[in-house]
């Protein structure tokens, strides 16, 4: 056993002994069960009720993603103003209450209220998620941050495989009423586990009399004045444009490039999910030594190569391999992004930084998703995948000026 393996094992042991990390992982497990049961149960229920009406099905995505644009920055700003533990507990409790209200309404006969469950929990997550990042900054030692993010993302990757299975099983075996009850209980269990977190600290900054609009303005100024965060935002923008362009095209890879039935799309998704699980585990091994910006650049480079191969491939095995590699390196992107935000943002601004960068990525993705169909009608799918790869390369180039270690030092609170 070499020194790096010993160090990795030692770091992992220290990480899992951390009370905050134990608690937040328990909460995430409950939340993932609730979210995936919600996603698939509601999807299958709406499909069944509307006889596969595409407008009704698309409204599920609207309820899930629109709050990211409308509430992400507002939620991040309030997360910086409020106590993070209390915010997370209340968000989970309110999500559970809203779900039980939906259950009661369904019992009375109005099925359309089902969209309300997705909408409310999606809105509340815009307040809860940045609070979790703040607690990560407070309670996880900086040298373990990247490893912690690796474990965190591996759980998300695991549920990309297990989540649809769990959600579909619960709905098909027990029906929508039980599925909604499972959602509510999962959110309540998450809230209960969060009560084990260390008490919130009463920070001096929280006692200052500042206005909401003033703090929003300060958030934009903070990101703009930080070279690292500005370049990370540019990389976010390029990645969002790239991913949005190819997001709706997977089925066309199967039917047009490979000449196979559309049902083969599930194998493409499975290859990506398996790659993500393995990638998360492998990234844990290098998390303590690799710079987050290097992880991000490596992940984006691998994705660019994968996109080029996906567009050009006429063989199923090659397409699946490229999709697997894209999934294998996806954790590098996610872990690199979250670690860079945590390392280069002061605790008081974490919510607002998340609230600015996340909508930037999502907004760019939605823009190219909205024109992807028109481009597909006028351009070849091969060319579109090459454009997507090029956009990722642009994102990589934007990171080049910050390839050296750059972070906010606790003792100086300045970038070096």
pLDDT in tens, 300-346: 999 999 999 999 999 999 999 999 999 898 888 888 888 888 888 88
For residue 1, being part of any structural domain is answered with no
366 and 329 within one domain? yes
For residue 23, being part of any structural domain is answered with yes
64 and 37 within one domain? yes
Query: Tens of pLDDT along 352-405?
Result: 888 888 778 877 887 887 787 788 888 888 999 999 999 999 999 988 887 766
Q: CATH no. for residue 358?
A: 1.20.1250.20
392 and 244 within one domain? yes
| Residue 298 tokens, joined | 């490596």
Which DSSP symbol is given to 406? -
DSSP string, 192-232: HHHTTSPPPP--GGGGS---HHHHHHHHHHHHHH-HHHHHH
For residue 298, being part of any structural domain is answered with yes
| Residue 121 tokens, joined | 């929990």
Distance CA 346, CA 239 (A): 25
In total, the chain counts a number of residues equal to 416
Distance CA 58, CA 53 (A): 9
Task: State which of 196, 229, 260 marks the end of a domain.
Answer: 196
231 and 182 within one domain? no
Q: Are 285 and 11 in contact (CB under 8 A)?
A: no
Structural domains in the chain (count): 2
368 and 243 within one domain? yes
384 and 236 within one domain? yes
For residue 266, being part of any structural domain is answered with yes
Distance CA 276, CA 330 (A): 6
> Residues with Cβ < 8 Å from 251, sequence gap 6 or more?
262, 265
Query: Tens of pLDDT along 76-135?
Result: 888 888 888 899 999 999 989 988 888 888 777 677 777 787 788 888 888 888 888 888
**pTM assigned to the model:** 0.74
For residue 341, being part of any structural domain is answered with yes
Q: Kind and range of the H or E element at 289?
A: none
287 and 332 within one domain? yes
Q: Which range marks the domain in which residue 348 is found?
A: 215-399
37 and 68 within one domain? yes
220 and 191 within one domain? no
Q: Are 340 and 296 in contact (CB under 8 A)?
A: yes
């Amino acid at each position: 056993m070499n020194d790096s393996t010993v160090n990795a094992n030692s770091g992992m042991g220290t990480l899992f002994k951390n009370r905050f990390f134990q608690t937040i992982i328990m909460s995430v497990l409950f939340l993932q069960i609730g979210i995936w049961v919600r996603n698939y149960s509601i999807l299958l229920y709406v499909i069944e009720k509307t006889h596969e009406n595409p407008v009704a099905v698309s409204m599920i995505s609207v309820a899930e993603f629109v709050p990211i644009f409308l509430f992400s920055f507002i939620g991040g700003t309030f997360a910086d103003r409020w106590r993070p533990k209390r915010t997370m507990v209340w968000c989970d409790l309110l999500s559970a209450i809203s779900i039980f209200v939906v259950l009661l309404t369904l019992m009375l006969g109005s099925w359309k209220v089902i969209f309300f469950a997705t909408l409310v929990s999606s809105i509340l997550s815009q307040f809860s998620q940045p609070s979790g990042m703040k607690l990560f900054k407070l309670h996880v030692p900086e040298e373990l941050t990247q490893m912690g993010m690796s474990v965190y993302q591996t759980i998300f990757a695991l549920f990309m495989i297990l989540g649809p299975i769990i959600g579909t099983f619960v709905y098909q075996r027990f029906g929508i009423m039980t599925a909604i009850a499972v959602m509510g209980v999962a959110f309540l269990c998450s809230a209960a586990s969060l009560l084990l977190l260390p008490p919130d600290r009463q920070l001096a900054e929280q006692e200052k009399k500042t206005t909401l609009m003033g703090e929003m303005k300060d958030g934009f100024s903070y990101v703009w004045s930080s070279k690292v965060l500005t370049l990370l935002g540019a990389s976010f923008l390029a990645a969002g444009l790239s991913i949005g362009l190819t997001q709706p095209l997977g089925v066309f890879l199967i039917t047009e490039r490979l000449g196979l039935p559309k049902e083969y799309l599930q194998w493409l998704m499975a290859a990506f999910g398996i790659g993500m699980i393995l990638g998360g585990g492998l990234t844990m091994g290098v998390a303590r030594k690799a710079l987050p910006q290097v992880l991000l650049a490596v992940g984006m480079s691998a994705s660019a190569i994968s996109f080029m191969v996906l567009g050009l491939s006429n063989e199923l095995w090659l397409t699946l391999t490229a999709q697997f590699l894209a999934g294998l390196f996806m954790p590098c992107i996610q872990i690199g992004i979250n670690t860079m935000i945590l390392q280069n943002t002061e605790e008081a601004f974490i919510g607002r930084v998340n609230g600015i960068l996340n909508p930037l990525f999502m907004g760019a993705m939605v823009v190219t998703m909205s024109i992807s169909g028109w481009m597909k009608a006028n351009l070849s799918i091969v060319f579109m995948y090459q454009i997507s790869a090029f956009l990722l390369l642009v994102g990589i180039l934007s990171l080049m000026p910050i390839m050296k270690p750059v972070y906010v030092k606790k003792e100086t609170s300045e970038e070096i």
